[in-house]
A and B are shown apart, each in its own frame.
Chain A
Amino acid sequence: MKLATPPAPHEIAPNSVGRVMRLVIYALVPAIVMHVVFLGPGLIVQILLGVATALATEALALQLRRQPLWRFLSDGTAIITAMLIALCLPPLAPWWLVVSGTAFAILLAKHLFGGMGANPFNPAMVGYAVLLVSFPAQLTQWLAPNISGLQTVHLGFGDVLQTIFSGELPARLTWDAVTSPTPLATLRTQLALGQTMQEVRANPVFGILGGRGWEWINFATLVGGIWLLAMRIIRWQIPVALLAGIAVPAGILYAIDPGSYPGPIFHLTGGAAMLGAFFIATDPVSAATSDRGRLIYGAGIGVITYVIRTWGGYPDGIAFAVLLMNAAVPLIDRFTVPRIYGHPP
């Protein structure tokens, strides 16, 4: 008799990184569906392009670094990075945007720092931020939501494909006809023109809570996020702190001057707050790791996002806020080590 003598514990829960990432991908499905309903099938093309690029660059990087190929390709992290970048881009953005952004994210933000688990910055947000500062014009060409009164022309799937791959609209259309600024962008330009909040809100792009159509996309994102919470894939600290970090300053300023500042509900439903709170900031690798640290991290992202939205040069600030707080994570982790059992406070 000669038995193997593995160390304790012998009981292990059936779990894997692949499972965690798969659940995150499932949780993104409602948001993607709503996105397609309101903004057309462009997102599907973007996701497919992004995922293909992500897998190809990931395979290349793994090959170069002599890492096991299948083990890391199948973990699903690269797919999520690509999906998040695609969700942030306008559905008709030219193909090279999503391709270059994803490749940059995988190669520079992930593998340069040692691959999965070691990247200090959220790869998806690095990819998106690089695109945002490099090609600001292309990133503002958002489609008008597919709601009567907003969308004046209908784009077929063929039109979408042609636009993405050629970078030109079909001859019968003009950019002015198909695009409409996002609610946050509208808000920013109108306020800059000296209008009051009431006048701004009268604009047809705004709905009851935030932007029309956008409200539903954000709601679907929230549903997916809550499902992730229920599945215990993410913890409540980061989303709650992040949303509070946006809502609290928004509420205070709204209470002081409702004429020039939109209220907290608008801020939570108008931009990428939900996606950021539940899917981007909760990337565990680049987030703070203790409970207290997560609260600080989430609140920091929320407040910085609000500051950039309200006073900065970009309509939304989630990406920059996430990257800034990513840089602060090791410092936060250093000062938020929980009290260990049996040690004085």
Chain B
Amino acid sequence: MILALLVTAALTALLAATLLLPAQLSAAGEARLIERIDALLPQTQCGRCTFAGCKPYATALARGEADINQCPPGGPSTMIALAALLKRDARPVDPKFGVVPEVATVAWIDEPACIGCAKCIQVCPVDAIVGASKFMHTVIAAQCTGCELCIPPCPVDCIEMRPAAARA
């Protein structure tokens, strides 16, 4: 009887040890998971998911601190890919975070109206706006992700979103 209890206890202790093991090793696993999630995100860096960019959102997803339906630029396809990777239920993108765009857009600066305040340059998450203070600015269309972050800071409302030109 006592022997039986001892054997069971010993094995249970072993099991507990293996259950604790993943916690020790989870950091490496988490970094890999974040990378995998990040690879699925559209990299608009728009922050509509309420995080500061795609990578931060990926980190939050990996830690279970965010839901998979928070990325409007990625739309349903990104959501489905995330659901498959994270083994969560698919659900439509929450309109709370923004509308899923129908066509890809890029920012366009009405250059004559630009006063060269450089505010948009500071907020562009991918350095796609060039120009210097007091000089007019231009969006490098090929590098613009269409995040729309440059629109609110513009004091003269000279930035608008235009459909991205068809790329060869």
Q: Do chains A and B directly touch (beta carbons under 8 Å) in the complex?
A: no
